[in-house]
Chain A
């Protein structure tokens, strides 16, 4: 066989092999719909849930906490009012009492619909005419509309109901240490996750969305919504010593805000403008987490000279509190 022919055949064989591999990979990806470790990370989330955070009915309240709220651990909507139990807890409603008005009113506010209506109204009224004032008025009008929409969405996102039902216990050292023991799991788990991991997780989820893997992205938002709602509900069931009330409330608000933002982020199909604003606000919240919570925790432990539970986070706080060593 001539040398040239051999080379040509060799090259053709390589190209054919490459195409075969490429086609195989394409079908593999299409069949599983899974292409990157970010997705694997999301799917692993449920595997990481331990017994304490198991949530059989996926309503945002862990099975072990369902009894506290007197809700059904296997019914996501115990009072059959159309709202998940966790959703009701986080918005300050009783999950065992049917809600009819308030939540429905809140839900009816669709930021995207409002924007559409304003746009259509503006166009019909002639206010949004690109020819007006050489386009300047049009640009101004669009800016105002955008600002109004963002304002409306942020108003809805930040409308966090103040929950006054915090359980209080006495200030004794024993009950403070007991309180620390009870919150240690939450601090080491979801809190640390939000504190150290969430900015990257959000980025990975958004990458999925950008790459067109909307279902996986939405599943990730839903998982984290459940996770943080769970943490919130769990924390709400823990009685706080009197001198820890402020810290306790701050921690509750911290979880409530992140859970709410994740909740709105899942609504990209019903209200995309609201979901986008929630994601943007979430990125801001996660990127600038107020470290005062940890500092508050550190100072309360130091001030009351408390024995901390066996937990990595408390060990780090202890090392930072170790004071003068020389």
Chain B
């Protein structure tokens, strides 16, 4: 096979997986089960043809898949152009900045897939029957497990890698940036969501790759037709096919037959919620009239909640809504208490966020305040995972901006730059009725952070704003899929309040129970600003994942890789001994 064909197959894999990944407005998630087959097929073919470990080509084949895939996944980055909404001036600089972030992010993430190509080449070679150097007394079963295990480990490293790639003054290093993880393609899959409550996204990824490698094995067996040349090996060689068919059939049946996840034992307690969805365009420096119009919209919606849905116990504003900050300009604390107690006869919990400048340190934080309407502010939480590019300028981007104009980022620094918060747990208890864990937008990407902050919570409140994306819904759809996994992993319902997008409520199983928009779920249809109200079941039960996190899956994958490596080494020694004996 000509070399370009390997790359074409690799790119086809990236394309299929890109189509499988959410953000299109329609679901092609099932493509994830087969999307990696062209890449694995290309790698296997390359291994067969070259019969040697070729780092460069195998890396480039994997990289081609990764690059295609991440160029598709990160396409929403273009919707941020022009960057004046975040304080970077100049069309040319905007274009250059967006292009640089898009290409560097995609290529940076694709490096990990390149490494996957490289290690896959090695393992295909190890398990290849043609290689004399690595002829081992083993079967292909290990290949089924070691390839997914390596992919999972590389995906875990990738979630660290994004943070390092875009390091800056607001960085919080850790395995947080899971955007692009293949598990999210299966957000509508009951089996994947169920599995996530035990093993998280990495367990689901393992299954996805396992199915892909099994399918590839079937292709390989059909292609090589071993029964023609090695009759006595028929059973042995077909064994993987039998296993593959069994696993794929089981996965297929479970996916088809499993009803939407339902759990007995929850639903004893409900929370009445009200989401205040706003439609306020973010400007770097809005006029006083625009600020006042935004505040007026919020007041009108809050008054509507009080009038039409007074039973709402939990009222949530979107990210950086500045509601309390604006209120404090008009009312003294006593007057504010009076205002709320007139509005709601019973105590209610209102959650809203603002950009707060700490005068002592001169640093700004994205802070969420929780207010008891019959009391005071009962808690606050500073966003920990601030987004590079949107909430702080990473060093490479800072350098790029500085090279072109040293003043170009001054507005960004003034109005957007944020530092990560220090408090690890955001949970707030409300009058012994329920515990809420607020999280802010991009934090939903970090399974570890969410797991930690939801240990003692009944419900997660997520606040988001998509105004910087100029109406593009791709990232909002991707975040929606990610949020479903966070709910399923931790078995906690998530209430998401959005500015310039759709708000929704996901139950503890990962199912959509309420959604705003033109095609709503259990809600009146509305576009832009409005209120989304309802009741959601809560539970104190912790999922297995919520207790143990990703550690067992990652350790398992690591052990698998180590054991196989050791076996290879032992096999090599045995081969060497055999050769020397003969």
| Distance from A196 Cβ to chain B, minimum over Cβ atoms (Å) | 4
Chain B positions within 8 Å of A203 at CB level: 414
Within the assembled complex, what's the spacing in Å between the Cα atoms of A96 and B420?
59
Q: A295-B335, A313-B292, A319-B300 are in contact. Are A204 and B414 (CB under 8 A)?
A: yes
Interface stretch of the complex, out of A67-75, A176-184, A187-195: A187-195
Q: Is the contact region of chain B dominated by helix, strand, or loop, or is it mixed?
A: helix
- Tell me if A316 is interfacial: C-beta within 8 Å of chain B: yes
Decide: A315 and B411 in contact? CB cutoff 8 A.
Answer: no
**Residue in A closest to B287 when the chains form the complex, CB atoms:** A197
| Distance from B56 Cβ to chain A, minimum over Cβ atoms (Å) | 16
Decide: B288 and A320 in contact? CB cutoff 8 A.
Answer: no
Decide: A37 and B300 in contact? CB cutoff 8 A.
Answer: no
Within the assembled complex, what's the spacing in Å between the Cα atoms of A313 and B291?
11
Decide: A291 and B332 in contact? CB cutoff 8 A.
Answer: yes
Chain B positions within 8 Å of A317 at CB level: 330
Within the assembled complex, what's the spacing in Å between the Cα atoms of A313 and B288?
10
- Tell me if A322 is interfacial: C-beta within 8 Å of chain B: yes
Q: A200-B415, A317-B330 are in contact. Are A36 and B410 (CB under 8 A)?
A: yes
Decide: B296 and A312 in contact? CB cutoff 8 A.
Answer: yes
- Tell me if A12 is interfacial: C-beta within 8 Å of chain B: no
- Tell me if B30 is interfacial: C-beta within 8 Å of chain A: no
Decide: B292 and A192 in contact? CB cutoff 8 A.
Answer: yes
Within the assembled complex, what's the spacing in Å between the Cα atoms of A295 and B334?
12
Chain A positions within 8 Å of B288 at CB level: 192-193, 195-197
- Tell me if A161 is interfacial: C-beta within 8 Å of chain B: no
Within the assembled complex, what's the spacing in Å between the Cα atoms of A38 and B410?
9
- Tell me if A108 is interfacial: C-beta within 8 Å of chain B: no
Within the assembled complex, what's the spacing in Å between the Cα atoms of A312 and B330?
14
**Residue in A closest to B404 when the chains form the complex, CB atoms:** A25
Chain B positions within 8 Å of A312 at CB level: 289, 292-293, 296
**Residue in B closest to A203 when the chains form the complex, CB atoms:** B414
- Tell me if B195 is interfacial: C-beta within 8 Å of chain A: no
- Tell me if B407 is interfacial: C-beta within 8 Å of chain A: yes
- Tell me if B310 is interfacial: C-beta within 8 Å of chain A: yes
Chain B positions within 8 Å of A192 at CB level: 288-289, 292
Decide: A41 and B285 in contact? CB cutoff 8 A.
Answer: yes
User: Could you tell me which residues of chain B, from 299 to 354, have a CB within 8 Å of some CB in chain A?
Assistant: 299-300, 303, 306-307, 310, 328-332, 335, 339, 342-345
- Tell me if A8 is interfacial: C-beta within 8 Å of chain B: no
Chain A positions within 8 Å of B339 at CB level: 320
Decide: B291 and A29 in contact? CB cutoff 8 A.
Answer: no
User: Could you tell me which residues of chain A, from 156 to 214, have a CB within 8 Å of some CB in chain B?
Assistant: 188, 192-193, 195-197, 200, 203-204, 207, 211
- Tell me if B408 is interfacial: C-beta within 8 Å of chain A: yes
Q: A36-B89, A319-B303 are in contact. Are A207 and B410 (CB under 8 A)?
A: yes
Most B C-beta atoms less than 10 A away, residue of A37, A193, A207, A323: A37
Within the assembled complex, what's the spacing in Å between the Cα atoms of A324 and B339?
8
User: Could you tell me which residues of chain A, from 43 to 58, have a CB within 8 Å of some CB in chain B?
Assistant: none
- Tell me if B255 is interfacial: C-beta within 8 Å of chain A: no
Within the assembled complex, what's the spacing in Å between the Cα atoms of A200 and B303?
30
Within the assembled complex, what's the spacing in Å between the Cα atoms of A192 and B288?
6
- Tell me if B405 is interfacial: C-beta within 8 Å of chain A: yes
**Residue in A closest to B336 when the chains form the complex, CB atoms:** A320
Within the assembled complex, what's the spacing in Å between the Cα atoms of A310 and B293?
14
Decide: B330 and A320 in contact? CB cutoff 8 A.
Answer: yes
Chain A positions within 8 Å of B404 at CB level: 22, 25
Chain B positions within 8 Å of A319 at CB level: 296, 299-300, 303
Within the assembled complex, what's the spacing in Å between the Cα atoms of A4 and B115?
27
Chain B positions within 8 Å of A313 at CB level: 292
* A316 touches which of B292, B405, B415 (Cβ 8 Å): B292
| Distance from B344 Cβ to chain A, minimum over Cβ atoms (Å) | 7
Decide: A316 and B345 in contact? CB cutoff 8 A.
Answer: no
Decide: B329 and A294 in contact? CB cutoff 8 A.
Answer: yes
| Distance from A130 Cβ to chain B, minimum over Cβ atoms (Å) | 32
- Tell me if B477 is interfacial: C-beta within 8 Å of chain A: no
Chain A positions within 8 Å of B300 at CB level: 319
- Tell me if B46 is interfacial: C-beta within 8 Å of chain A: no
- Tell me if A107 is interfacial: C-beta within 8 Å of chain B: no
- Tell me if A126 is interfacial: C-beta within 8 Å of chain B: no
Decide: B289 and A188 in contact? CB cutoff 8 A.
Answer: yes
| Distance from A68 Cβ to chain B, minimum over Cβ atoms (Å) | 26
- Tell me if B84 is interfacial: C-beta within 8 Å of chain A: yes
Q: A37-B411, A316-B299 are in contact. Are A326 and B343 (CB under 8 A)?
A: yes
Interface string of A294-326 (1 = CB under 8 A from B): 110010000000000000110111011011111
| Distance from A81 Cβ to chain B, minimum over Cβ atoms (Å) | 36
- Tell me if A33 is interfacial: C-beta within 8 Å of chain B: no
| Distance from B103 Cβ to chain A, minimum over Cβ atoms (Å) | 15
Within the assembled complex, what's the spacing in Å between the Cα atoms of A325 and B414?
39
Within the assembled complex, what's the spacing in Å between the Cα atoms of A37 and B292?
22
- Tell me if A242 is interfacial: C-beta within 8 Å of chain B: no
Within the assembled complex, what's the spacing in Å between the Cα atoms of A319 and B23?
39
Within the assembled complex, what's the spacing in Å between the Cα atoms of A36 and B90?
9
Most A C-beta atoms less than 10 A away, residue of B89, B285, B414: B285
Within the assembled complex, what's the spacing in Å between the Cα atoms of A175 and B281?
39
- Tell me if B295 is interfacial: C-beta within 8 Å of chain A: yes
| Distance from B352 Cβ to chain A, minimum over Cβ atoms (Å) | 16
- Tell me if A35 is interfacial: C-beta within 8 Å of chain B: yes
* B296 touches which of A21, A41, A298, A316 (Cβ 8 Å): A316
Decide: A322 and B303 in contact? CB cutoff 8 A.
Answer: yes
Interface string of A269-304 (1 = CB under 8 A from B): 000000000000000000001010011001000000
Chain A positions within 8 Å of B343 at CB level: 324-326
| Distance from A21 Cβ to chain B, minimum over Cβ atoms (Å) | 8
| Distance from A238 Cβ to chain B, minimum over Cβ atoms (Å) | 21
Within the assembled complex, what's the spacing in Å between the Cα atoms of A38 and B412?
11
Most A C-beta atoms less than 10 A away, residue of B344, B407, B414: B407
Chain A positions within 8 Å of B310 at CB level: 326
Chain A positions within 8 Å of B89 at CB level: 36-37
Within the assembled complex, what's the spacing in Å between the Cα atoms of A291 and B291?
17
Chain B positions within 8 Å of A323 at CB level: 342
Within the assembled complex, what's the spacing in Å between the Cα atoms of A204 and B284?
12
**Residue in A closest to B413 when the chains form the complex, CB atoms:** A207
* A29 touches which of B284, B303, B405 (Cβ 8 Å): B405
Chain A positions within 8 Å of B406 at CB level: 211
Chain A positions within 8 Å of B306 at CB level: 325-326
Chain B positions within 8 Å of A195 at CB level: 288, 329
Q: A41-B285, A196-B291, A197-B287 are in contact. Are A211 and B410 (CB under 8 A)?
A: yes
| Distance from A38 Cβ to chain B, minimum over Cβ atoms (Å) | 7
Chain A positions within 8 Å of B329 at CB level: 195-196, 289, 291, 294
Decide: B299 and A36 in contact? CB cutoff 8 A.
Answer: no
Interface string of B376-419 (1 = CB under 8 A from A): 00000000000000000000000000011111101100110000
Chain A positions within 8 Å of B292 at CB level: 192, 196, 312-313, 316
Chain A positions within 8 Å of B296 at CB level: 312, 315-316, 319
Q: A294-B330, A316-B295, A316-B330 are in contact. Are A38 and B344 (CB under 8 A)?
A: no
Chain A positions within 8 Å of B289 at CB level: 188, 192, 312
Within the assembled complex, what's the spacing in Å between the Cα atoms of A305 and B431?
37
What 7 A-B pairs have minimum CB-CB distances, sorted nearest first? A196-B288, A319-B299, A192-B288, A197-B288, A325-B306, A324-B342, A36-B407
Q: A29-B405, A41-B285, A197-B288 are in contact. List 13 more A-B contacts (CB 8 A).
A: A22-B403, A36-B89, A195-B329, A200-B415, A211-B406, A291-B329, A294-B330, A295-B330, A298-B330, A313-B292, A316-B299, A319-B303, A320-B299
Q: Name 30 interchain pairs, CB-CB below 8 A, sorted by A.
A: A25-B405, A35-B407, A36-B411, A38-B411, A192-B288, A195-B329, A196-B288, A196-B329, A197-B287, A203-B414, A207-B414, A211-B410, A291-B328, A294-B330, A298-B330, A312-B292, A315-B296, A316-B292, A316-B296, A316-B299, A317-B330, A319-B296, A320-B331, A323-B342, A325-B306, A325-B307, A325-B343, A326-B306, A326-B307, A326-B345
Which B positions have Cβ atoms within 8 angstroms of A? Answer: 84, 89, 92, 284-285, 287-289, 291-293, 295-296, 299-300, 303, 306-307, 310, 328-332, 335, 339, 342-345, 403-408, 410-411, 414-415
